[in-house]
């Protein structure tokens, strides 16, 4: 309230893991660290929801939930604070199945610029009372108020989790496979794309074994054993029709974790290519039917400018990144 009266800007700061620059301070203002707001306030296992303070991280929350048969599915890679994830409308590898922060946040406590404290949303699935203020603050990046508490929707831990990789002769075939799997309606949890350049880098950086330096899709299926078997059969058939190799399965939990850690470490793997490298990360999301065309265009432009820019993407929801070195 004092800052507002004196026109002093405030920049709320969480874990500082985002790459877009919105936690960069202002010389005439105050950086407000939320690091002491790290309490999980309550978990309602029967209703699949919880309330947490802004600095609770996704890994901290999942550690608390694992004995209750629940998990929080939004996974942007970094161990980000949940307040920051709400403020940036974070997405992640499992968005294709579980949505983004906009899908799972059902309420917020926010301090407005004039010092007023408001609570938005309700614990019920449906409400028609008043404005949808919750979604106004999600993605506002600290500009409309400071998020101090988040009310989240949770998911049951699946009975069966299966991960695999599939290699393709060219990037277009890989992206087309992802597009067709989504259009077919297969309930896949994750479908990630790494182009040939990025696979070469990740194989070396993350010590991936039995992998080929080709455009690759990483898959993960969540569900019952029966439903996973059915989904996998269709996904394998679609991949095969697009010149994909046989699926290579992660046989253990450790192998599965190693696979997804390699995907999350893409940024660091590119940075490790040489000393003093700067990496500029693009972030494009298009309707799934335009994905092949958009990625083809990006590849051609990278080539035209003589750049090196490994490519990754949450292709299940039409999202990809070029990491320009």
Structure tokens of 41? 């306030």
User: Which of helix, strand or coil describes residue 214?
Assistant: coil
Q: What pLDDT was estimated at residue 76?
A: 87
Q: Within 10 A of 9 (CB to CB), how many other CB atoms are there? A: 15
CA-to-CA separations, 120 to 109, 134, 138, 154, in angstroms, rounded:
6, 6, 11, 18
In terms of C-beta density within 10 A (0-12 exposed, 13-18 middle, 19 or more buried), how is residue 2 classed?
Answer: exposed
Nearest to 284 by CA among 301, 272, 270: 301
Contact, 175 vs 295, CB < 8 A?
yes
Q: Along the chain (325 residues), what's the average pLDDT of each consecutive run of 10 residues? A: 94 88 86 96 96 97 95 91 95 90 96 95 82 94 94 95 95 94 92 95 94 95 92 95 94 90 92 91 91 92 95 90 93
**How far apart, in whole angstroms, are the C-alpha atoms of residue 263 and residue 43?**
30
| CA pair distance 257, 114, nearest whole angstrom | 45
Q: Distance between CA 13 and CA 192 in Å, rounded? A: 30
Phi/psi of residue 135, each to 5°? -70, -15
Return the pLDDT at 171.
92
What is the pLDDT at residue 263? 92
Q: Locate 11 and state its tokens.
A: 């920049």
- pLDDT at position 14, please? 93
> Please, are residues 142 and 86 in contact by the beta-carbon 8 Å criterion?
no
Q: Is-contact 223 160, C-beta < 8 A? A: yes
- pLDDT recorded at residue 26: 84
32 Cβ contact partners less than 8 Å away, ≥ 6 residues apart: 10, 11, 12, 13, 146
pLDDT computed for residue 191 by the predictor: 94
55-94, pLDDT tens digit by residue?
999 999 999 999 999 999 999 888 999 999 999 999 888 9
> How many residues in total does the chain contain?
325
Beta partners for 26? none
Instruction: Show Cβ contacts of residue 148 under 8 Å, excluding neighbours closer than 6 positions.
Output: 34, 37, 53, 54, 83, 109, 110, 111, 117
Q: 49: number of CA atoms within 13 Å, CB side? A: 17
First-to-last alpha carbon distance for the chain, in angstroms, is 43
């Amino acid at each position: 309230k004092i800052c507002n009266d004196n026109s002093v800007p405030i920049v709320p700061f969480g874990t500082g893991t985002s790459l877009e620059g919105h936690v960069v301070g202002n010389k005439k203002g105050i950086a407000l660290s939320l690091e002491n707001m790290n309490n999980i306030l309550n978990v309602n296992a029967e209703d699949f929801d919880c309330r947490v303070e802004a600095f609770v991280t996704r890994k901290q929350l999942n550690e608390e939930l694992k004995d209750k048969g629940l998990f929080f599915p939004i996974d942007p890679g970094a161990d980000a604070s949940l307040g920051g994830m709400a403020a940036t409308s974070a997405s992640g590898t499992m968005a294709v199945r579980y949505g983004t922060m906009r899908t799972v946040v059902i309420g917020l406590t926010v301090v407005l610029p004039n010092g007023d404290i408001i609570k938005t949303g309700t614990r019920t699935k449906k409400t028609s009372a008043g404005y949808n203020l919750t979604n106004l603050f999600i993605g506002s990046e600290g500009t409309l108020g400071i998020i101090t508490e988040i009310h989240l929707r949770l998911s049951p831990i699946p009975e069966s989790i299966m991960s695999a990789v599939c290699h393709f002769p060219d990037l277009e075939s890989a992206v087309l496979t992802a597009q067709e799997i989504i259009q077919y309606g297969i309930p896949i949890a994750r479908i990630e794309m790494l182009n040939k350049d990025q696979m070469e880098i990740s194989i070396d950086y993350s010590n991936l074994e039995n992998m080929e330096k080709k455009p690759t899709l990483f898959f993960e299926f969540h569900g019952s054993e029966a439903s996973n078997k059915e989904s996998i059969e269709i996904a394998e058939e679609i991949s095969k029709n697009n010149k994909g190799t046989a699926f290579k399965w992660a046989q253990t939990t450790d192998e599965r974790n190693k696979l997804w850690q390699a995907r999350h470490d893409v940024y660091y793997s590119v940075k490790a290519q040489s000393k003093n490298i700067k990496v500029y990360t693009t972030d494009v999301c298009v309707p799934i039917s335009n994905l092949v065309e958009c990625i083809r265009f990006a590849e051609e432009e990278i080539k035209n400018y003589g750049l090196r820019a490994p490519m990754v993407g949450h292709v299940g929801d039409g999202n990809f990144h070029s990491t320009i070195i």
